[in-house]
Amino acid sequence: MQNPELNRHVVASAHANIALVKYWGKRDKKLNLPCAGSLSLTLSPLTTRTELAFRAVGLDDLVEIDGTEADARARQRVLALVERVAPAPRPPVHIRSVNDFPTAAGLASSASAFAALSVGCDRLFELNSDVAHLSVLARLGSGSAARSLFGGFAEMKPGSASDGSDAHAVALFPKDHWPLSVVIAVVDAGPKPVGSTDGMEHTRLTSPYFAAWVDTVAADLEAAKSALRDRDFKALGQVAERSCLQMHASAMAADPGVLYFRGVTLDLIAQVRRWRAAGWPVFFTVDAGPNVKVFCPAESTATVETALQALPGVQRTIRCVPGSGAVAQWAEGSLPGNNPTFV
């Protein structure tokens, strides 16, 4: 006998996001509750595509990431989120997730991955949750994933409740609010040596600058929101670069220091400053990794991308624009390997 539910599956997708006011540090590690708020832009085309389906009773859960079975740590993170939403007892699930950009390289692959997983689980189990709840759910998988639920510009609210129920992202401005471009200069597509979760916790525990970093965030959020509202490129660049460098300074001051920059990262930052001094409308930001993101008006994209491609150490560039929020829909047919016959 076949179960009809095993012959359909969910396809979910979400974009990565880049924080303009950075998130770095948790007030509760288990619940991924941030010490302070953050503000980001969701980026197209950086996409995670996640397929989810039920498996036949008696089979194990199967989690695949970028074409291979997930390691124990990644599997645990994924299935922990499934367990939070699935009514008990639940059937085993097959989850297959693919990124179209480098994974764990400081390009927010965990943000898009857990945003896609959250909306996908909600559709698979037919829960019909509101977007605030989905943002909380995504946050439990990855703190920055709460923002990838939304298109355009989003703000993460740190909340104050001990259970994290009020710690979620909210939409600020839609993707068509301001036609900015982001050109990513990829200098190393490999996994970073220290993951974001471990790096920020080590910073929180050992850096003498961590508390000072947290104290800067509220003012930076207000400055960034004002710049976005007024479409003030210079003001947005000032707050974004300040937030970036102060975040990394707190990490570098940990014991031992957490270093995400490479020599070429610093070279690119210096070059962006030289271009700006020469009149180019550009500013930079760098997340927990060595790759540099350069913002510019849409009409300057080709010039900036060509100039970045010519710089030593830049392996390739990725051109991005403001992206849409996470979505999920039903698809026909079972995922390969599901064996849709009851056992």
Q: Kindly give the parts of the chain with pLDDT less than 70.
A: 1-7, 103-108, 333-334, 336-343
* DSSP, res 192: P
What pLDDT is stored for residue 340 in this prediction? 39
Q: Where are the domains of the chain?
A: 4-177, 180-322
Distance CA 255, CA 88 (A): 44
List the end-to-end C-alpha distance of the chain, in Å, as a whole number.
9
Beta strands per DSSP E along the chain = 8-21, 26-28, 33-34, 38-54, 62-65, 68-69, 93-99, 153-156, 169-173, 180-186, 283-285, 292-297, 316-322, 327-332
Tell me the sheet residues that pair with 285.
293
Q: State pTM to two decimals.
A: 0.92
What pLDDT is stored for residue 138 in this prediction? 96
- Asked if 124 and 11 touch (Cβ cutoff 8 Å), the reply is no
CATH of the domain spanning 4-177: 3.30.230.10
4-177 and 180-322: identical CATH topology: no
Tokens linked to 123:
């559709």
Rg (CA), the chain: 20
One DSSP character per residue, 100-159 reads: SS-TTSSS-HHHHHHHHHHHHHHHHTT----HHHHHHHHHHH-TTHHHHTSSSEEEE---
Q: Give 224-240 pLDDT, tens digit per residue.
A: 999 999 999 999 999 99
- Asked if 22 and 243 touch (Cβ cutoff 8 Å), the reply is yes
CATH architecture of 180-322: 2-Layer Sandwich (3.30)
What pLDDT is stored for residue 107 in this prediction? 61
